[in-house]
Amino acid sequence: MSVTVSIRKRLRGFCLETDFETPQGCLGILGASGSGKSMTLKCIAGIETPDEGYIAVNGRVFFDSRKKKINLKPQARRTGYLFQNYALFPKMTVLENVAAGLSCSKPEKRAKALDWLERFELQGLEERYPHQLSGGQQQRAALARMLILEPELILLDEPFSALDANLREQMQLRLEALLEYRNDVILVTHSRDEVYRLCNELAVMEAGRVLNQGKTRELFHNPGTVHTARITGCKNISPIKPLGEQEVYALDWGLRLRLSVSVEPEITHIGIRAHDFLPVREGEGYNRVRISIIQRSEEPFEGILLFANAAADTGAERKELWWKYSPSLVRSLPEQLFIPPESVLPLRG
């Protein structure tokens, strides 16, 4: 798959200015609510029309406001769009919903629809209506209705947001297996877990613009900017004062830290992911912080500790840090935590 999007559309409150190009694979678009993710999908699908710009998929132009004046109708774009609420037709049965877009004889429609219902384990539910299905069944019916048309490009708009945690994980695994055979997917989400699991390419959006794009795991490992670090789940971010080529002072925590890389002039902050602290009991050494407990809570499989640097310089703000740990491995709280230099993320403001 090759998707090129360069569009402008003025909306209430901001202007959507989306520019990205992605090679073969599943692209995840990650951003907060209202950042323009869903509107970008709707413009690609033809549901919304940009004010200007260019959209092409595999070399086929969907929209071109300047040179060729092209604006293909949604039906001509061969895109499959899965809405957040699945948008099943309420007065049609499951079988009728899945077969709705087919243009062939009634016997062929029925046979194809039954085949796809079986693929999604919906056999026996053919005559039910959408309101008689569970959330997971509705999602599978919507996926079957979309895929039966063999779309060139699949657009997924927060497909798991309406599901409970257990069902969400089941459907993510099902979709992950499906994506092994498809290389033409764009997934819009505000969940970093979904994007990390399902997408090999990631674009980070804010206020209608793509701020960062790259390989998903590389962006999580080295987010580069404060916004990308936050949107990918980094809990601990502080402005810094450089002390040396690979040493900084974290102003919010009153803490000297070594990095594994040089601190370039454009670096204004550092980040530490909450899972990257390592417990140590005592002793002096670099990149260690003495714990002053602010709050502690435990979930079934994860503990969360909010703490401050007990050894912060006088006058330092001593803002809180987050540590997430496994209760099965950490039986009692250590006196100090160690931050590996490679876990200190250099960030641009």
pLDDT tens by residue, the chain, 349 residues: 689 999 999 988 789 999 999 877 789 999 988 889 999 999 999 999 999 999 999 889 999 998 889 999 998 999 999 887 888 999 999 999 999 988 889 899 999 999 999 988 898 999 999 999 988 888 889 988 988 988 889 999 988 776 677 777 777 777 777 666 566 889 998 888 889 988 889 999 998 999 999 999 999 999 999 999 999 999 999 999 999 999 999 999 999 999 999 999 999 999 999 999 999 877 668 999 999 999 999 888 899 999 999 988 766 567 999 999 998 888 788 999 999 999 999 999 8
Whether 171 and 199 share a structural domain: yes
The CATH number linked to 36 is: 3.40.50.300
Residue for token digits 């160690």?
Answer: 338
| In a shared domain, residues 199 and 246 | no
Burial environment of residue 104 by CB neighbours within 10 A (0 to 12, 13 to 18, 19 or more):
exposed
- Is 221 in the same domain as 242? no
Overall domain count for the chain: 2
Token duo for residue 280: 């140590």
Q: Which of 171, 200, 228 is the last residue of a domain?
A: 228
N- to C-terminal Cα separation, the chain:
33
Six token digits for residue 82:
């899965």
Do residues 191 and 288 both lie within one domain? no
Helices (H), the chain: 37-45, 74-77, 94-99, 106-119, 135-147, 165-179, 192-198, 216-221, 226-231
For 348, counting Cβ atoms within 10 Å of its Cβ (0-12 exposed, 13-18 middle, 19+ buried), the class is middle
Residues 222, 245 within the same domain: no
Last residue of a domain, one of 201, 228, 255: 228
Are residues 113 and 253 both part of a single domain? no
Which residue, of 228, 263, 294, is where some domain finishes? 228
Question: Which domain, by its residues, includes 342?
Answer: 236-348
Q: Are residues 220 and 243 in the same domain?
A: no
Indicate if 159 and 26 belong to the same structural domain.
yes
Q: Are residues 183 and 325 in the same domain?
A: no
Residues 113 and 201 in one domain: yes
The pTM of this model reads 0.85
Output 32-36 pairs: Cβ under 8 A, ≥24 positions apart: 32/190, 32/206, 32/231, 33/190, 35/205, 35/206, 35/207, 35/208, 36/11, 36/205, 36/207, 36/208, 36/209
Q: Give yes or no: residues 137 and 11 share one domain.
A: yes
Burial track 136-151 (b if 16+ CB lie within 10 A, e otherwise): bbbbbbbbbbbbbbeb
Identify whether residues 94 and 224 lie together within a single domain: yes
3 state DSSP class of 76: helix
Question: How many beta carbons lie within 10 A of that of residue 202, not counting itself?
Answer: 27
